[in-house]
Chain A
């Protein structure tokens, strides 16, 4: 469905993404993992057409995305890491605004939006201004706007941040249902237990470069650990976490004593 072919992107002297390639098939949940500043969001922005790669190409359904960018964006749903929305609109107005930009029929949009607000337990908040929403509510709102047009590819950048445990479970089930209906999902997350459960393929990157990719088991088998989070730490060069934690607590304690 989506093919990323040797893309690179620099910001002045910093190489954010360096020769990254991967492919997402239909019905696949692809997790892009990496420590902070590893180039995950930059990669996602290039896939979304928000940033232009310095090198490389991106193909969607075997066609380059650039010449048909508007048509391509109609097939994509996106939840960003930071919930930037028009805060002076109400929840339902924002969903209607986004749905209208996808040229959805007004009646269909109204029915779908109402049902989604109710299912995500936001029925009472849909007439409230977004600036009064909590972070989790904004994430749910963005989830609604990302799916309202029934896209073929869903892209989630840290979708679970700010969500309570119940909402994370709902999110996980939504991803599973979407994949079961033949859609594909690309997501970044730091909650590795969730990644382990829902991702069919994982790629770990650091400094914009691929470290390893494959299924959870394939990645774990390349390390001496038996869980994805420990394997992730080892692969990204964060092996001595326990001693680091002790040192940090030690510094704080010293300051308090001094």
Chain B
């Protein structure tokens, strides 16, 4: 009789916290990989700084956007494209990591636990990226259109 596999919460927490620690210390992102071993900043910090720069550029377009609605669409679309591109660049690290197969598969971690840990990691990672990419458009949009509804909608 097959034993049902449940999520081991302790293992899940260890897995996703370690994944976040690895994000903090290094990255497969080519921009951060160029720093090599002696990089001054953790990989994810470089990604966040880049996102802030892109989002600032994005929010500069609000000056020429003819309407509140178009600015909202532009900011949302731009943010989503940036996040999607970053996820594609970091695909082998964030979504499916070949190292995980070698490190985790001989260990007593069932697939449900691993899947949930990956999902948590992805959620936190995307949240960090989303926050960094939407901060400037939300604040600048609210001032330009003189309405905090912009930031709420965004």
Q: A residues within 8 A CB of B107?
A: 73, 98, 101-102
Is the CB–CB distance between A80 and B109 below 8 Å? no
Is the CB–CB distance between A73 and B18 below 8 Å? no
In the bound complex, what is the Cα–Cα distance between A241 and B14 (angstroms)? 51
Cβ of A89 within 8 Å of any chain B Cβ, yes or no, is yes
In the bound complex, what is the Cα–Cα distance between A15 and B93 (angstroms)? 32
Other-chain contact of B106, A68, A73, A82, A89 (Cβ < 8 Å): A73
Cβ of B29 within 8 Å of any chain A Cβ, yes or no, is no
In the bound complex, what is the Cα–Cα distance between A160 and B106 (angstroms)? 20
With A89-B21, A89-B22 in contact, do A100 and B14 touch (Cβ < 8 Å)?
A: yes
In the bound complex, what is the Cα–Cα distance between A87 and B21 (angstroms)? 12
Other-chain contact of A102, B3, B102, B108, B110 (Cβ < 8 Å): B108
Is the CB–CB distance between B3 and A67 below 8 Å? yes
Is the CB–CB distance between A85 and B103 below 8 Å? yes
Q: B residues within 8 A CB of A70?
A: 5, 108-110
Q: A residues within 8 A CB of B21?
A: 88-89, 93
Interface size on A, residues (CB 8 A): 30
Q: B residues within 8 A CB of A67?
A: 1-3
With A70-B108, A101-B109 in contact, do A84 and B5 touch (Cβ < 8 Å)?
A: no
With A50-B105, A101-B14, A103-B10 in contact, do A88 and B25 touch (Cβ < 8 Å)?
A: yes
B67 to chain A, nearest CB (A): 46
Cβ of A131 within 8 Å of any chain B Cβ, yes or no, is yes
A175 to chain B, nearest CB (A): 19
Instruction: Enumerate A13-54 residues with CB–CB distance to B below 8 Å.
Output: 48-50
Cβ of A78 within 8 Å of any chain B Cβ, yes or no, is yes
B96 to chain A, nearest CB (A): 15
Q: A residues within 8 A CB of B99?
A: 84-86
Cβ of B11 within 8 Å of any chain A Cβ, yes or no, is yes
Cβ of A97 within 8 Å of any chain B Cβ, yes or no, is yes
In the bound complex, what is the Cα–Cα distance between A131 and B26 (angstroms)? 11
B117 to chain A, nearest CB (A): 11
Cβ of A69 within 8 Å of any chain B Cβ, yes or no, is yes
In the bound complex, what is the Cα–Cα distance between A73 and B22 (angstroms)? 25
Chain A minimum-CB-distance residue to B108: A73
Cβ of A235 within 8 Å of any chain B Cβ, yes or no, is no
Is the CB–CB distance between A84 and B110 below 8 Å? no
B153 to chain A, nearest CB (A): 39
Chain B minimum-CB-distance residue to A84: B102
A43 to chain B, nearest CB (A): 14
Chain B minimum-CB-distance residue to A85: B103
In the bound complex, what is the Cα–Cα distance between A86 and B10 (angstroms)? 19
Which B positions have Cβ atoms within 8 angstroms of A? 1-3, 5, 8, 10-11, 14-15, 18, 21-22, 25-26, 37, 99, 101-110
The 4 closest A-B pairs by CB, nearest first: A84-B102, A88-B25, A73-B108, A88-B26
